[in-house]
C-alpha cells in the first residue's frame, strides 16, 4: 500500500502522549475500571507491549514489574494436587497472600486463567525475563485441564464459556514454552476449521501459524476465501463484521491476519492510518475504538500495533501471530535455543 502521509495536525502521531498514557495505566486506575480487576495482567501486557512498540520500556522499572507478575503465578502445592489449576492469575483478587516463590498455597478457589497465563508469559518476555521462574510443568498441566472434547478451551478449570479465543491463548502458551504437550493439536485444528464462520478469524489463523499447520489445515481455496473476507473488512479503518462500524482494534486483528496471509500490502495504508489517528486522544494519549470516544488500554495498544503494521516511523515491528515486538520475539527464540541445547535438562 502507498502511504501519502497527511501532514495536518489531526494526523500527527503523538508518541510522548502514548508513552505517558501507558505509564499512567501501569500505576493506578480509578474505581470505574473495577470490571478489569480479574484481567489486570492482560492490561499490564497492553501497557508493556505498547511501551515496547514505542521503544520506551526504559521509562518503567522492569524488575519490580517482573516481581509482581511472578506473584500472580499459581504454583503447584507440595503434594502437586492442584496441577490442573496452575498458570497465572489476572490479579490477587482472591486474597492469596503476596508471594513470588513456591510452593503453592492451597486455596479452594485459586486457579490460573488461560488468557492471563498467555499475557503473563508475554509480559515477562517483553521485560527481558528468562522465564526460569515459570513452573512449566504446572502451566502445561493447567492448560491440558482446560481443553474440551471438541478441541476448544475453557478459560479456567472451574468452567466458563469455551471458544477459539482460548485456543489462541493456549497456542501462544505452548509456542512460548516450546512445548505442545499442553494441548491436543488435532482436536484444536478440527474446532478451528469448524468455527471459521465467526468473526474470530485472527485467533484461527494466528493459532494455525504458531502451530506451523496453516497450509495443512486449510486448502488454498479456503485461504483465498479468508483473504477476501478479511480484505473486505476495510472501510477506512477496519471493522470486524459486514455492516458494523469500523473500530481501531480491528486495524490489528484484521491487519495482522492479512499480514500472516501475505496480502496486507494490498490494503489502503493511508485510509487505515487516518482512521486510527482520528481515534487518537490528543490530550491524554491512547486511542479509542471510535473517534470522539474515551481511550482505553486495549485500543491504545492495538491502535499502535495497527500503525506499526503499516510501517509508521518510530514504531517497532510486531510479530503478527504472537503479538509482541520482533525484539521480544528474538529474545524468545534465544531462550528456545538455550533450552533445546541443554541436553537432558527438563523444561
Which residue, among 66, 247, 88, has the nearest Cα to 177 in the 3D structure?
Answer: 88
Contact 3, 264 (CB under 8 A): no
Task: Give backbone dihedrals phi and psi of 318, rounded to 5 degrees, phi first.
Answer: -110, 135
Asked whether position 331 contacts another protein by CB under 8 A, the answer is no
Task: Pick the stretch among 128-136, 138-146, 296-304, 310-318 that binds another protein (CB under 8 A).
Answer: 296-304
- Contact (Cβ atoms closer than 8 angstroms) between residue 332 and residue 282: no
Does position 231 interact with another protein (CB under 8 A)? The reply is yes
- Rounded (5°) CA angle 333-127-248: 90
List 6, 10, 59, 64, residue binding another protein (CB under 8 A): 64
- Pick the binder of another protein from 14, 15, 39, 213 (CB under 8 A): 39
Of 197, 293, 195, 296, whose CA–CA distance to 245 is shortest?
293
Give me the least distance between CB of 343 and another protein, in Å please.
27
Closest to another protein by CB, 5 vs 232, is: 232
Q: Is the sign of the CA dihedral 221, 222, 225, 230 positive or negative?
A: negative
Instruction: Pick out residues in 138-177 that bind another protein (CB under 8 A).
Output: 155-156, 158-161, 165
Smallest gap from Cβ 272 to another protein, in A, equals 9
- CA 20 to centroid of chain Cα atoms: 21
Question: 164-177 and 201-211 helices cross at what angle (nearest 10)?
Answer: 30
Could you give the C-alpha distances from 140 to 1, 84, 173, 175, in angstroms and in order? Answer: 41, 9, 8, 11
Comparing CA positions, the residue from 153, 154, 129, 156 lying closest to residue 74 is: 156
Quote the crossing angle between the two packed helices 114-126 and 164-177, to the nearest 10°.
40
- Fill in the per-residue mask, 252 to 291: x = in contact with another protein (CB under 8 A), - = not in contact: -x-----xxxxx-xxxx--x-----------xx---xxx-
Give the binding range for another protein (CB under 8 A) out of 5-13, 75-83, 90-98, 127-135.
Answer: 90-98
Q: Give yes or no for residue 296 binding another protein (CB under 8 A).
A: yes
Q: Is 294 in the site for another protein (CB under 8 A)?
A: yes
Q: Does 243 bind another protein (CB under 8 A)?
A: yes
What is the distance between the alpha carbons of residues 321 and 208, in angstroms, rounded to a whole number?
Answer: 9
- Work out whether 184 is an interface residue with another protein (CB under 8 A): no
- The reply to whether 26 sits near another protein by the rule CB under 8 A is yes
Whole-number minimum distance, CB 117 to another protein, in Å? 13
Residue 59 in the binding site for another protein (CB under 8 A): no
Q: How many other C-beta atoms are found inside a 10 Å radius of the C-beta of residue 96?
A: 16
* C-alpha R_g of the chain: 20
Q: Which stretch binds another protein (CB under 8 A): 126-134, 140-148, 295-303, 338-346?
A: 295-303
83, 321, 324, 335: residue in contact with another protein (rule CB under 8 A): 321
Candidates 6-14, 104-112, 145-153, 306-314 — which segment interacts with another protein by CB under 8 A? Answer: 104-112
- Taking CB under 8 A as the criterion, the residue among 107, 193, 316, 347 binding another protein is 107
**Smallest distance, Å, CB 344 to another protein?**
30
Q: Distance between CA 87 and CA 131 in Å, rounded?
A: 13
Among 9, 220, 313, 344, binds another protein (CB under 8 A): 220
Q: Taking the complex as a whole, how short is the minimal distance between the CB of residue 167 and another protein, in angstroms?
A: 13
Amino acid at each position: 500500500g502507498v502511504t501519502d502521509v497527511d501532514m495536518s495536525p489531526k494526523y500527527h502521531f503523538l508518541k510522548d502522549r502514548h508513552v505517558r498514557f501507558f505509564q499512567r495505566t501501569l500505576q493506578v486506575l480509578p474505581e470505574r475500571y473495577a470490571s478489569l480487576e480479574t484481567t489486570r495482567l492482560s492490561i499490564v501486557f497492553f501497557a508493556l507491549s505498547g511501551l515496547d512498540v514505542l521503544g520506551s520500556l526504559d521509562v518503567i522499572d522492569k524488575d519490580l514489574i517482573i516481581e509482581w507478575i511472578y506473584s500472580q503465578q499459581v504454583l503447584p502445592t507440595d503434594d502437586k494436587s492442584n496441577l490442573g489449576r496452575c498458570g497465572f492469575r489476572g490479579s490477587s483478587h482472591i486474597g492469596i497472600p503476596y508471594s513470588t516463590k513456591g510452593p503453592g498455597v492451597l486455596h479452594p478457589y485459586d486457579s490460573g486463567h488461560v488468557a492471563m497465563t498467555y499475557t503473563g508469559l508475554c509480559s515477562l518476555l517483553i521485560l527481558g525475563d528468562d522465564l526460569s521462574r515459570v513452573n512449566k510443568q504446572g502451566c502445561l498441566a493447567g492448560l491440558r485441564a482446560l481443553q474440551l472434547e471438541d478441541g476448544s478451551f475453557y478459560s479456567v478449570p472451574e468452567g466458563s464459556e469455551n471458544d477459539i479465543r482460548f485456543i489462541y491463548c493456549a497456542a501462544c502458551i505452548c509456542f512460548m514454552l516450546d512445548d505442545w504437550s499442553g494441548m491436543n493439536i488435532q482436536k484444536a485444528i478440527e474446532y478451528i476449521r469448524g468455527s471459521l464462520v465467526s468473526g474470530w478469524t485472527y485467533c484461527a489463523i494466528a493459532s494455525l501459524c504458531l502451530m506451523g499447520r496453516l497450509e495443512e489445515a486449510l486448502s488454498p481455496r479456503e485461504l483465498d476465501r479468508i483473504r477476501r473476507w478479511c480484505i473486505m473488512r476495510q472501510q477506512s479503518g477496519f471493522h470486524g463484521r459486514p455492516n458494523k462500524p469500523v473500530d481501531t482494534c480491528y486495524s490489528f486483528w484484521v491487519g495482522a491476519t492479512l499480514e500472516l496471509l501475505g496480502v496486507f500490502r494490498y490494503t489502503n495504508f493511508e485510509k487505515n492510518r487516518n482512521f486510527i489517528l482520528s481515534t487518537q486522544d490528543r490530550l491524554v494519549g491512547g486511542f479509542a475504538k471510535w473517534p470522539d470516544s474515551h481511550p482505553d488500554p486495549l485500543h491504545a495498544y492495538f491502535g499502535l500495533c495497527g500503525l506499526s503494521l503499516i510501517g509508521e516511523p518510530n514504531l517497532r515491528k510486531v510479530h503478527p501471530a504472537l503479538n509482541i515486538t520482533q525484539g521480544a520475539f528474538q529474545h524468545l527464540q534465544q531462550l528456545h535455543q538455550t533450552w533445546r541445547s541443554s541436553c537432558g535438562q527438563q523444561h
